[in-house]
Amino acid sequence: MTMLDKSAAGNAMAKGAIDIALWDALGKHLGAPIHQLLGGAVRSSIPLLWPLPSQSPEEDVEEIRKKMGEGYRTFMLKMGVERDMSREVARVRAANQFYGESRDFHLCVDPNQGWGVIECKDFLRLLSRTECRLDFIEQPLPRSTSASTFAAMHAQTLYPISLDESIMTAEDCRDALAAGIPDIVALKVSKNGGITPSQKIATLCEVNNVRILCNSMLEFGITQAATLNIALTLPHLVDCGHCFMSTLRFQDDITNFSSLISDQKEVSVPRGPGLGIEVDEEKLARLSSDSWLVS
């Protein structure tokens, strides 16, 4: 992968696919799951998170009610579209009023880089007038925001700040940690370029007492399994649900990753070698437009 990085800058997702494949091949060659190669699992399962789109407080409450009935206990309110911050704070307040007293209820918000400094300040100001529980705020400002501006915003709130799009590489992580910005870093194996660079980011966070949220794009089971194998080895995960629900949002998947998810919406340790999942070759062939055999 070092040679590939030198010859092809960027292209994290494409290189990440190769990196995951190499780890899977190594694990299968050695007859060991990837989490064992990374040092061993420190947990037997991880709870799932469920994301909610930008919608009304009433719609949030109804969706949370439904998903709690399915076993979910952590919810992420997607924001960044609405410009009126009083409406966004109303969503947080509504969720807290209905479910905030539950000890195992977790709530976070993710503006997805959608706020400017003014919106962010307004949200934090209005939120400070409430007694709402909120586990963290993820990526409220754009990736292009200066470290000094992000740090100043962080100083205005007691709520933990999670960085997602700001952390693409290990170098990004070092810079953010040096500026004292994140309390949490959102790890995405697809975004971060595979298992190897994701592990580097996780290690940097651990030595700096910064926690990890295992996040995701909309992913099939291969990438979900790659993230899971890392997550199981990390002692510094955020104490809430993580984004291993991606395959449940599809009508179908080319893997059996969903079989690792219990009715209580927890994902368990894969026991097989490599990624620890199985790929349905017939489905893969049916969905593929072309293929190459690497030997």
Cα dihedral sign for 143, 170, 48, 130? negative
CA distance 146 to 154: 12
3-class SS of residue 136: strand
For 18, phi and psi rounded to 5 degrees?
-70, -45
Q: How far apart are the first and last CA of the chain?
A: 17
pTM score of the predicted model: 0.94
Cα dihedral sign for 244, 247, 253, 258? positive
Residues 50 and 22 sit within 8 Å (Cβ to Cβ): no
3-class SS of residue 295: coil
Kindly give the confidence (pLDDT) of every residue in the chain, 295 residues in length, as a single tens digit, with 9 standing for 90 and above: 676 776 777 889 999 999 999 999 999 999 999 999 999 999 999 999 999 999 999 999 999 999 999 999 999 999 999 999 999 999 999 999 988 777 789 999 999 999 999 999 999 999 999 999 999 999 999 999 999 999 999 998 999 999 999 999 999 999 999 999 999 999 999 999 999 999 999 999 999 999 999 999 999 999 999 999 999 999 999 999 999 999 999 999 999 999 999 999 999 999 999 999 999 999 999 988 988 887 7
Q: Is 31 left (phi over 0), alpha (psi -120 to 50) or beta?
A: left
For 279, phi and psi rounded to 5 degrees?
-100, 130
The token duo for 107 is: 């709530």
Task: In the chain, count H helices and then E strands.
Answer: 12, 9
The token duo for 26 is: 């190594």
Q: Look up residue 158 and give its amino acid.
A: L
CA distance 185 to 13: 18
For 148, phi and psi rounded to 5 degrees?
-65, -40
On the CB side of 200, how many CA atoms lie within 13 Å of its CA? 13
Q: Look up residue 58 and give its amino acid.
A: E
CA distance 153 to 156: 5
